[in-house]
A = this chain, B = another copy of it.
Amino acid sequence: MPYRIGKYTLGFDQPPAVLSYAAVGSKKESEGPLKDAFDFIEQDSYFGEKSWERAESRIQRESVNRALEKGNFDPTDIDYIFAGDLLNQCISSVYGLRELGIPLFGLYGACSTMAESLSIASVFIDSQAAKRCAAVTSSHFCSAERQFRFPLEYAGQRTPTSQWTVTGGGAAIVGIGNKPPFVRGITTGTIEDYGIKDANNMGAAMAPAASATISRFFKDTHMNPAQFDLILTGDLGYVGSGILLELLEREGLDIHRQHNDCGLLIFDREKQPDVQAGGSGCGCSGSVLCGHILPKLQRGDLKDVLFIATGALLSTTSVQQGETIPGIAHLVYLSSQAQDEAFPTRERASQFDGRKEKR
């Protein structure tokens, strides 16, 4: 069963295992450093469909279907699917997952969706509410540009702080198992708002949320950054990553040795300069996690990873109305081991100074 560690963090008595996973990408992703990480690459941005929105649905469907296949699962083996995306009313998830017949909890966490879906799925598994859950998300450069920015035909200039929405997706099947990777714990984010209003600088809008969540994880667990191989944010990009490191330093947390960012891993900013500050979109952290990180945890090449997917909570309407852009970041602690000394057990967590409970 899940148990509380401090105010924001949950541990799992029987850490859920990631039983299977898959990542999908498109042309630009196939030209980047992670080109070999994808289970399926489609060079055509339409994915053979008649619209970019349908293409994105296809990405989500392919991600789930390939994760099912790789794990030798039927859709009927999955009790719940947790899914969301960036499109208005999450239509990629709706049309992408419609035929599966799996009970669906639709999520909206912007680019934090991969961590949000993994978080809730893990609670369902460790509480025995489900035997197996799927967590999935997607994004598409063209459907996102059309919706959030300009028609592609307009060929607008992109600012140096802007990020390139990944055309891709990731799906993970979580359940009970004795092989890594394991989900050891989660730290759930609050809405953080530092007053950023530039819709072309998402990294800056999301960095405070990542900083808050990471710092709470360390405070809750009494752990320190050196105990992790990788602290992976997604998708702060170049600008947001710099801000994150600075914000954490002010709190006395130095993560620069462990830190990397999905938006910096998926593209090569020198060879692919039009991505500007790096990758973004639900599919960025989704595909980097499911294509690049989970395999390394499975093989033991990585042992302890904090995965912190970040979301910028804006809409075109909120931007046009002059609202600020708040961010949110959800953390998932993934490990190649189901147990060790470092992460607080239920017993040890209960000895920490928790908040005072009134009833």
Contacts and interface: CB of A to CB of B under 8 A. Distances in A.
A97 B191 contact: yes
Question: Which of A8, A91, A102 is packed against the most chain B CB atoms within 10 Å?
Answer: A91
A17 to B, nearest CB: 13
A318 B53 contact: yes
Interface string A1-18: 111100010100000000
Contacts of A313: 89-91, 94, 106
A326 interface: yes
Contact of A105 (B91, B107, B127): B107
Contacts of A120: 105, 120
Given A313-B91, A315-B88, A318-B53, A8 B127 contact: no
A200 interface: no
A98 interface: yes
A53 B2 CA distance: 37
Contacts of A105: 107, 109, 116, 119-120, 188
Nearest to A318: B91
A317 B191 CA distance: 28
- The 8 residue pairs across chains A and B that have the minimum distance between CB atoms: A127-B127, A103-B188, A2-B129, A89-B315, A108-B108, A94-B313, A88-B315, A106-B108
A358 interface: yes
A123 B103 CA distance: 15
Interface in A30-51: 51
Contacts of A84: 106, 108
A189 B108 contact: no
Given A98-B193, A123-B123, A124-B123, A103 B8 contact: yes
Contacts of A326: 94-95, 98
A321 interface: yes
A298 interface: no
A323 interface: yes
A76 interface: yes
Contact of A321 (B51, B76, B147, B357): B51
B103 A189 contact: yes
Interface string A105-118: 11111100000100
Given A94-B313, A128-B1, A89 B104 contact: no
A328 interface: yes
Contacts of A355: 76
A326 to B, nearest CB: 6
28 contacts: A2-B128, A3-B128, A4-B79, A53-B317, A77-B358, A84-B106, A84-B108, A88-B316, A88-B317, A89-B110, A89-B313, A89-B314, A90-B313, A91-B315, A94-B326, A95-B323, A95-B326, A98-B326, A103-B189, A103-B190, A104-B188, A104-B189, A105-B116, A106-B313, A107-B107, A127-B129, A131-B357, A147-B317
A78 to B, nearest CB: 11
A199 to B, nearest CB: 12
Interface string A187-224: 01111010000000000000000000000000000000
